Structure 1
Amino acid sequence: MSINPKKSRSLVSIAGLVAVATLISKIFGLVREQAIAAAFGVGPVVNAYAYAYVIPGFLLILLGGINGPFHSALISVLAKRDKSEAAPLVETVTTLISGVLLLVTIVLIVFADTFISILAPGLEGEVKAIAIQQLQIMAPLALLAGLIGIGFGTLNAADQYLLPSISPLFSSVAIVIGVWILIWQFGSNLNNPENWYLGGMVLAGGTLAGGVLQWLAQLGAQWQAGMGKLRLRFNWRLPGVMDVMKVMGPATLSSGMLHINVYTDLFFASFIENAAAAMRYANFIVLTPLGIISNMILVPFMPVFSRLTAPENWPELKVRIRQGLLLTALTMLPLTAIFIALADVIIRVIYQRGAFKSADADMVIPVLMTYGIGMFFYLARDVLVRVFYALGDGETPFRISIFNIFLNGFLDFILYKPFKTPGLVLATIGVNLVSLIIFIGILNKRLGGLPLKEWGNALLALTGISFVAGVASWGVSWGWQQFYTGNNLILQLLQLLLSVITAILIFLVLSIQLKLPEVDLLLSRIKGKFQS
C-alpha cells in the first residue's frame, strides 16, 4: 500500500492550495525586499549580500525547492511504498545527505574568502569583507537546504501541501524583523559605513534564522505524520535508499547546470558598481508574476504533452504546443508592456522610501525594463523544454544548456561594458531567444513540420497589441503626472493601478478581435481559478 492511497484531494485543489500558499509567500517576500530597500537602498550592504547569498541561495533552490531533485526523488520512491517503510527510509536518507552537506558547510566557512573572490573578482575593500562575513554566517544553509528539500518531498508524499509551500515566508519574516529593529535603533545612520558590517550581519543572520525555522516547522509536521524523526540511521542497504539516490544524483547535476548562467552574470556584475543589488531588486519584481502565472497557466501542459507523444497523436501535440506558446504570449506580453511603460512608477511605489532614494530608482528602472523584454522568451523556452521531456528526450535540452553557458559568457563579455547592468540582462535574453529558435527548429524537423508561419503571425499580432497597450498605459501615467506630482504613496498607487488596468483592458479587447482560441482558453482558466 502506498503512502497516499486516497484520491480525495484532486489535482485542481492541490494546485489551488499551492498557488495560494505561494502567493502568500511572495507577498511576504515583497515586504522583505521593501524593508531591505528602505534600510540599505542600492548600496554596499545589499551588493555584498547578493554575492554572499549566491551559493546558499543556489543550494536552497536546487536542493530545498519544490520540484527540486530531493523533493522529486523522495516523492517518486515514497509514493510507491507502504507508510510503515517511510520513517526508516527518510531517516537513512537524511543521515546520508546531512553528512555530505555538513562537509560542504565547513568548506564554505573555511574558504569563504576564496569563494567570494571567484564569484566576484571585481569586489574590493569593505564590500568584499562584508560578503565574506555574510557567506560564513549563511554557510549552514547548505545543510538546511538538504533537510528542507527532504521535508518538502516527505510532507507532499504524506499529502501535506500547505506548510511546504508557505514555509519559505519564515526567512522573509526573520529578515524583516531584524531590519526594522536596525531601522528603529539607528534610523538614517544605518547606511553609514560604520554600520555596514552590522547591517550585513543582520541580513545574513535573518536569512539563516529563517532557514532554521522553516526546517523546524517541517520537522514537527514530519513527526506528526509518522514520516521520520531526528534520528541517525546508517542502514544504507534499506530498501528504497538506493532508489532515492539513483534519482537524486543525476537530477541534482542536471538542475545545477541551469544556475551556472546566474553565476556568470554576477561575475561580470562585480565589475559594475552596485549592479548585483540593482539586478536583485528588479529580478524579484519580474519573478513574482512570472512564477505565479507559469504555475497557474502552464503546469497543466506537461501531462498533456506526455499523452500525445505517439506519432499518430502528433497533430494534436502541435495544437497543444501552439496553445502553450500563445498562452505564454497572452500572459507575458502585457506584462512586458507594463514593465517597460511603467517601470519608473513601479520602482518608486515598491521601493523608493528610506535609504532607497531617487538615484537608486534610476539604477533599477532600466534593469526592470530590460527584464520585462525577456519574459516571453524565458517562459516560451520553458514550454518547449517540457515538450522534449514529454518526448523522453532530456539529452537535447541538456546539450543546449551546455551551449548556453558559453553563449551567455560570451554575450556578457561583449555587452556589460557598453550597456552596463542592462547588458547582462540582454545577454540572458539573447540566450533564451537562441534556445527558443533551436528548440523550434528541432521540433519542426522531428514532428514532421510545424505551422510556423501561422504561429508567427499570431505572435506578431499580439506583440503589436502589447505595444499599443504599453503606449496607452504610459500615456495615462504621463497624463496623471501633469495634474498630480510629488511622492504621495496613495496617489502613486492610484496612478499605477489606473495605468495597469488601461494596459490590460486594451490588450484584452484587441486580443479578442484576433479570434484566437487561446484567448477563450485563457479566460476560461482564469474564470475557473476564481470560481474554485
Structure 2
Amino acid sequence: MALIRSLATVGGYTGLSRVLGFVRDILIAAVLGTGPVADAFFVAFKLPNLFRRLFAEGAFNAAFVPLFAKRLEQEGEAAAKAFAEHTLAVLLTVVAFVCVLSMLAMPWLMYGLAPGFEDDPEKFALTVELSRITFPYLLFMSLVALLSGILNSLYRFAAAAAAPVLLNICFIVSLALVLPFSGMPGHLLAWTVAIAGVGQFLMLIIAASRAGMSLRLRLPRLTEGVKRLLALMLPGMLSAGAIQINLLVGTIIATLQAGAVSYLYYADRVYQLPLGLIGIAFGVVLLPDLSRKLRAGADEAAMHSLNRGLELAMLLTLPAAVALIVIPEPITIVLFERGAFDRTATEATSLALAAFAAGLPAFVLIKIFQPAFYAREDTVTPLKMALISIGLNIALSLALFWPFGHVGIAMATSASAWLHAFLLGGRLGRLGFLKTDRALRRRLPRIAVTAITMGIALWFGAAELSAWFEASQELRILALALLVGGGLILYGGLALVSGAADRDALRGLLRRRANSGSA
C-alpha cells in the first residue's frame, strides 16, 4: 500500500468534509450566534458525538481493526467476514440498549453534562429535548464505524472517508433551503443530525457490499473473537477517546459561563480542519497498515511507515498550528463574523482558537502514536497514558477557568494533549516500537524553523492588512486569502530549499498522479 496515496485519499475527503463543515458552521453562526439556542444545540450534538467517538470510532476501531486484519491476513476473507457478522450482532444489541436508556434518562444525564444550564429552565428543557432527537445518531454511526473498519482493513478508504461529507451536506440543505420555511432552528438541526446518521449508514452498506462484505444479521453471541474484542474495547474507550473526554470536561465547565460553550465550539471547529486532514487521516491509514505488516512479520516496514507518518504529519501540522496561533482573529472574522455573530464573539472565539492551536501538533502525534499500540492489540498501555492526561486536564481546567474563563479550558486541553503525546512517544521508544531514523531526525528541526519563519511573515502581513479586516466582507476574504496563500507559498518554498520536505517522495506522488491521469 502506498502510504502517501492512502493519506491523500482520506485527507482529501476529510478536507472536503471540513470545508463543507465550515460552510455549515458559518450558517449556524449567522442564524444562532452564541445565544441560548446555540448552546443547547451544541450540547445536544456533542453528547451522541462523544459516545460515537469513545465507543464506536475510538474504542471500537482500536480493537476491531487489528483483530479483523489478523483474520484477513492469516485466515482469509471468509473468517474475517464471520467475525464481522458476530461483531455486528453484539454491537447492534448493546448500542441500541444504550440509546434507549440514555434517551429515557436524558434529564438526569443533563444535570451532569450541562450543570450551568440548570439555572435557566427553558434552556435546560430545550437541551434535553434536542438531545433526545439527536441521540439515535449514535446507533447508526456505531454501525458506520464497523463498516468503516472493514473497508479500511481492505485498503478501501474512500467511502468511509467520504461519509461525513453527507452530514454536512444535510446541514447546509436544512439551513439554506428548509429553515426559511420551518423556523425553530434548534429542532431542525437536531432532526438533521438524526437523518444524516441514517444516510451515512446506508452509504456504507452499499460500499461494503460492493467490496464483497455484505454482512448478514446473526443472533448476538459472545464468541471467542467477540470476547477478545470487548476485552480490548474497555480500556480503549478511554485511551482512544481521551481528547474527546477532555473536550467534554471543558464543555461541562464552560456551561458555567454564558456563551462559553459556543465560543469553544466554533474555535474547536476551526482547528479541527488541520486535525481532520492530518491527524485523523494518519490514524485511519496507519492502524490497518501497521496491523497487517506486523501480522506478516514485516517489522522494519512497519517502523518505516511510522517514521514517514511522523515526518509527513509534522510537515503539515506545524505550519497550520503556527498560523492559527498568529492570526486567529482574522480567521474568525472571515469565517464567522456576520449576522448574530458579533465582534465580541469573534474576540472570545479567536482567543480560544489560539489556545487550542498550541496543542494541535500534540493532538496529531497522539493519533499517530496510538495505532502503534493498537496494531499490537495493546489498549491497556494507551489507557494508562490517557488517564494521566485526563486527570491533568480536569485539574488545569478547574484551575484556569476562574482567572481566564473559557480560554483557560482551551489552554488546559492543549497542555494535557502535550503530556499525553510525550507519554505515548516515550513508552513506544522504551519498548523499541519507535526508533527515529536519520531522515526524520534531520528534517524535524528544519520543519520547525521553516514554520516559525512563516509565522513571523504572517504576523507582519496581518499588521499591514489590519484595515482590510475592518472593511467589507469582500476585502476581508481577499486579505485572508492573501495571508494564507502567501504563507503557503513561503512555507512550501522554504521547505523545499531547506530540505524540510522530501523531494523524492513528492516527485513520486506527482508521477503516480500523472500516470493515473493519463491511463
Q: TM-score, normalised by structure 2?
A: 0.82
Structure number with the higher helix fraction is: 2
The farther-off stretch of 109-118 and 456-465 is: 456-465
Q: What per-residue deviation string (whole Å, max 9, x for no partner) do you get for residues 416-473 of structure 1?
A: 1111112111112211222344445555655599899x99997666545433322322
Q: Structure 1 residues 10 and 391 mapped into 2: Cα distance closer, same or farther (>3 Å)?
A: closer
* Corresponding residue SS for 1:361: helix
Q: Which residue of 1 aligns with 2:17?
A: 25
**d(CA) in 2 for partners of 1:101 and 1:462?**
44
Q: Which residue of 1 aligns with 2:90?
A: 96
- 1:375-394 matches, within 5 Å, as 375-387=360-372, 394=379
- 1:63-462 matches, within 5 Å, as 63-65=55-57, 68-69=61-62, 72=65, 75-76=68-69, 79=72, 92-124=86-118, 125=120, 126-155=122-151, 161-181=157-177, 183-185=179-181, 198-221=184-207, 227-228=213-214, 233-234=218-219, 236=221, 241-251=223-233, 253-257=235-239, 258=241, 259-294=244-279, 325-387=310-372, 394-439=379-424, 441-442=426-427, 462=447
Residues 363 and 417, structure 2, Cα contact 8 Å, conserved in 1: yes
Structure 2 residue 489 is matched with structure 1 residue 505: yes
* Corresponding residue SS for 1:406: helix
**d(CA) in 2 for partners of 1:443 and 1:85?**
31
Q: Which residue of 2 aligns with 1:58?
A: 50
Structure 1, unaligned stretches of length 5 or more? 1-8, 191-197
Q: Deviation at 1:98?
A: 2.3
Residues 87 and 226, structure 1, Cα contact 8 Å, conserved in 2: no
The farther-off stretch of 154-163 and 48-57 is: 154-163
What amino acid maps onto 1:199 in structure 2?
P
* Corresponding residue SS for 2:115: coil
Size of the alignment, in residue pairs? 505
Q: What per-residue deviation string (whole Å, max 9, x for no partner) do you get for residues 248-300 of structure 1?
A: 55235413442322222222111122222222211122111222123667877
Q: Structure 1 residues 42 and 524 mapped into 2: Cα distance closer, same or farther (>3 Å)?
A: farther
- 1:457-476 matches, within 5 Å, as 462-476=447-461
**d(CA) in 1 for partners of 2:53 and 2:427?**
30
Q: What per-residue deviation string (whole Å, max 9, x for no partner) do you get for residues 355-389 of structure 1?
A: 22222222211111112221122223444445555
What amino acid maps onto 1:502 in structure 2?
G
**d(CA) in 2 for partners of 1:375 and 1:291?**
11
What amino acid maps onto 1:497 in structure 2?
A
**d(CA) in 2 for partners of 1:298 and 1:244?**
23
Q: What per-residue deviation string (whole Å, max 9, x for no partner) do you get for residues 206-253 of structure 1?
A: 100101122233345556666447x7532737xxx5424422552354
Sequence identity (%) = 22
Q: Structure 1 residues 441 and 323 mapped into 2: Cα distance closer, same or farther (>3 Å)?
A: same
Work out which of the two has the higher radius of gyration on C-alpha atoms and give 1 or 2.
1
Q: Structure 1 residues 167 and 514 mapped into 2: Cα distance closer, same or farther (>3 Å)?
A: closer
Structure with more contact order per residue of length (Cα contacts < 8 Å, sep ≥ 6): 2
**d(CA) in 2 for partners of 1:522 and 1:10?**
11
**d(CA) in 1 for partners of 2:469 and 2:264?**
30
What amino acid maps onto 1:506 in structure 2?
L
Q: Deviation at 1:520?
A: 3.9
Q: Which residue of 1 aligns with 2:39?
A: 47
Q: TM-score, normalised by structure 1?
A: 0.80
What amino acid maps onto 2:355 in structure 1?
T
**d(CA) in 2 for partners of 1:82 and 1:323?**
29
Residues 283 and 371, structure 2, Cα contact 8 Å, conserved in 1: no
Q: Which residue of 2 aligns with 1:496?
A: 480
**d(CA) in 2 for partners of 1:441 and 1:224?**
42
